[in-house]
């Protein structure tokens, strides 16, 4: 059984390997391992019999916005719902934090549309464009597509079962 759970520091190398593998294939951007250690609290891993078969992170970018980053599923674990489960875990976290929108920049907009995202104009996320994209070597020739999910402030409170 595959379980999606918060990453541990000991998962950083496996996360880095997955991201590097797909970045080398041109499917996503590289992330240095030092950055993965720094952001380890943002990361989820999908674990199967102790092995990390998928990863993804939720990076908070402001009072109402977070980004799903570094989503990667091992080649031999694809199309079994792992990517969808990691995105669902990130979106659930975003709701818990009270965020209003979750976005991603991706070469796979069709996958994100199946997870309830819609294609958006990247300029809806100026904090991403002007803080980070401008430093990216692909900025002037970016082929990534922006996708976003509006979370509509769902009520996550749990009613008490007895009188206070
Ligand atoms: C994209 C990726 C994360 C999908 O993960 P996955 O575990 O294989 O996908 P899932 O099995 O959870 O797929 C969920 C649904 O999305 C669909 N889907 C998967 N990949 C898709 C794609 N590239 N385009 C469109 N739909 C896709 C599946 O068919 C499935 O559809 P269904 O709900 O109708 O059955 C995975 O292919 C991957 O790691 N790719 C390399 C890295 C990458 O591109 N990351 C995304 C960059 S942000």
User: What tokens were used for 148?
Assistant: 């976003």
> 2-150: which CATH architecture?
3-Layer(aba) Sandwich (3.40)
Under DSSP, the state recorded for 124 is G
- Label the pairing between strands 101-106 and 2-6: unpaired
Helix (H/G/I), strand (E/B), else coil: 70: strand
Question: Looking at residue 160, what is its pLDDT?
Answer: 78
Torsions phi, psi for 85 (to 5 deg): -65, -35
Using CA atoms of 24, 28, 29, 33 in order, give the dihedral in degrees to the nearest 10. -70
Mean pLDDT in each 10-residue stretch from start to end of the chain (164 residues)? 97 98 92 97 97 97 93 97 98 95 94 96 83 78 90 68 66
Instruction: Give me ligand 1 centre to Cα 115, in Å.
Output: 9
DSSP H helices in the chain: 12-24, 33-38, 82-96, 109-114, 126-131
Cα-trace Rg, the chain = 16
Among candidates 89, 101, 103, 93, which has minimal Cα distance to 55?
Answer: 89
105 lines ligand 1 (CB under 6 A): no
Instruction: Give me ligand 1 centre to Cα 27, in Å.
Output: 12
Question: Looking at residue 142, what is its pLDDT?
Answer: 82
Question: Looking at residue 156, what is its pLDDT?
Answer: 58
Residue with tokens 């092995």: 51
Q: 115 near 148, Cβ under 8 Å?
A: no
Domain ranges of the chain: 2-150
Among candidates 22, 149, 36, which has minimal Cα distance to 95?
Answer: 149
User: What tokens were used for 55?
Assistant: 């990863």
**Closest approach atom of ligand 1 to CA 80:** 11
Nearest CA to ligand 1 atom 33: 114
23 lines ligand 1 (CB under 6 A): no
- Mutate which of 28, 108, 117 for ligand 1? The one with the most ligand atoms within 8 Å of its CB, which is 108
């Amino acid at each position: 059984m595959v379980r999606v759970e918060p990453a541990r520091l000991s998962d950083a190398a496996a996360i880095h390997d997955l991201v590097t593998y797909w970045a080398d294939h041109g499917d996503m951007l590289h992330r240095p391992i030092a950055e993965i250690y720094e952001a380890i609290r943002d990361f989820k891993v999908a674990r199967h019999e102790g092995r990390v078969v998928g990863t993804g992170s939720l990076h908070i970018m402001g009072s109402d916005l977070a980004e799903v980053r570094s989503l990667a599923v091992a080649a031999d674990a694809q199309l079994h719902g792992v990517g969808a489960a990691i995105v669902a875990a990130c979106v659930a976290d975003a709701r818990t934090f009270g965020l209003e929108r979750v976005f991603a920049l991706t070469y796979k907009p069709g996958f994100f549309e199946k997870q309830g995202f819609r294609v958006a104009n990247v300029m809806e996320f100026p904090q991403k464009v002007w803080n980070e994209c401008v430093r990216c070597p692909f900025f002037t020739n970016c082929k990534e597509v922006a996708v976003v999910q509006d979370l509509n402030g769902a009520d996550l409170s749990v009613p008490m079962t007895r009188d206070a």
